[in-house]
Structure 1
Amino acid sequence: MKALLINASPKKNGNTARLVGLVADAFRQKGIQAETLCLGEQSYSFCKGCRGCYKTAECVQRDDMQKILEQMAGADVILIASPDYWGDVTGHLKVFIDRCTPYSKAHEPHAALPGGKRGISLALSAGEDPRECKAILMKIDNLFRTLGIKPAASFYTCGILTEQDLERDEGKLAEAAFFASEIAKALVP
């Protein structure tokens, strides 16, 4: 089994990466091949709104999106994790979602990922209001459904402002590690 874990943060080594790393470790312990990718290190442009993909099921732009979508096509499990940026996903993830327009079933022809994929959504917030994290999870799960990926699990944590906050809060770390372990067990009983 192969998993692609996407960190939607612009930071490669922040709190989101730490949570993704916990899941990657749990997956590897269960024999799941886990590859991580940080959207902040990729180079892709805004959707131009040209609707060229409505005719060809392919984006007219050539950048790292094709590579990311190929990695998604080859994965059985796809995890997307986003920190809370003003009550929403990061700009990196929003642009990524927009660039998935060739896969929208709102037009024919449309591109499609191979079937049978499962999705995991993660969100974290500096604030204490869980509604913002829940909105992020809903947006990621909506992307999964649009891409034909079955949402399988989600996790969020609030009150994480700095890397030190996550590392100092043993309860939050333990809760995230438990989630990672349980989802790994569920994927490989």
Structure 2
Amino acid sequence: MKVLLLNGSPHKNGCTYTALTEVANSLNEEGIETEIFWVSTKPLMSCTACGKCSELGKCAFDDKVNEFVKKAYDADGFIFGSPVHYAAATGAITSFLGRSFYSNSEPFKYKPGAMVASARRGGTTATYDQLNKYFGISQMPIISSYYWNMVHGNTPEEVLQDEEGICTMRQLGKNMAYFLKCIEAGSEKGLTPKEVPKTKTNFIR
């Protein structure tokens, strides 16, 4: 089993990476393989609603988004990490996830997901709510810890001093591992998701 962790920070080895590493280490202890995927600092297009993804089966802008979605097929669970910018997730990760899920949500469906917010001080709960919405619209079980998934600190060293935050990350890894093993056990018993036919409506008559 494998969990793909997305680092949505412009700092490859900063505070968000430090938090994700704690989650990854906890998963590794449970025999779960992990990979931390960085969005990088290169300019990242937001979705332009061009509709080409429905023809191509991937985003028309061929960059790290398509690389990530390709890796998603082989992942069994996901952790999305973002620092807090103006009480919200970074513009980079929202553009990245918007294009990832809109162009092809199939590799994410039914797989558990969790998000991690990193902040010097405030805005973590707004970021937590924001990123959980990607899971909620994609039939993905949302994994929690014994506190909201967040760490505080202005540097990686300060994050490591946030003892409650670090414990929350470690418990998040244990909870993700538990649910992955439950899904595997259910699959071995022949349990599979059941889908109701989808109906779309709007409010204009």
Q: TM-score, normalised by structure 1?
A: 0.80
Corresponding position: 1:94 with 2:87: no
- Is contact 1:77–1:119 with CA below 8 Å preserved after alignment? yes
Gap regions ≥5 residues in structure 1? 104-110
1:54 CA drift (Å): 5.1
| 1:1-189 map, 5 Å | 1-40=1-40, 44-53=44-53, 57-100=57-100, 101-103=102-104, 112-113=106-107, 115-128=109-122, 132-153=123-144, 155-157=148-150, 159-188=152-181
Q: TM-score, normalised by structure 2?
A: 0.74
CA distance in 1, matches of 2:50, 2:41: 25
| Greater fraction strand | 1
Range with greater deviation from structure 2 (51-60 or 61-70):
51-60
CA distance in 1, matches of 2:30, 2:141: 21
Q: 1:69 is paired with a residue of what secondary structure?
A: helix
Gap regions ≥5 residues in structure 2? 183-205
Q: 1:81 is paired with a residue of what secondary structure?
A: strand
Question: RMSD between aligned alpha carbons?
Answer: 2.5
Q: 1:151 is paired with a residue of what secondary structure?
A: coil
CA distance in 1, matches of 2:180, 2:42: 28
CA distance in 2, matches of 1:88, 1:144: 17
Give the equivalent residue in structure 2 for 1:106.
none
Instruction: Give the number of aligned pairs.
Output: 179
CA distance 1:28–1:54, shift in 2 (3 Å): same
Per-residue CA deviations over 1:121-153 (Å, capped at 9, x if unaligned) read 11122124xxx2222122222112333322222
Q: Which amino acid is the alignment partner of residue 127 of structure 2?
A: I
CA distance 1:138–1:171, shift in 2 (3 Å): closer
Range with greater deviation from structure 2 (28-37 or 38-47):
38-47
CA distance 1:97–1:114, shift in 2 (3 Å): closer
- Percent identity between the two aligned chains: 22
1:162 CA drift (Å): 2.2
Q: Which amino acid is the alignment partner of residue 103 of structure 2?
A: P
- Is contact 2:20–2:169 with CA below 8 Å preserved after alignment? no
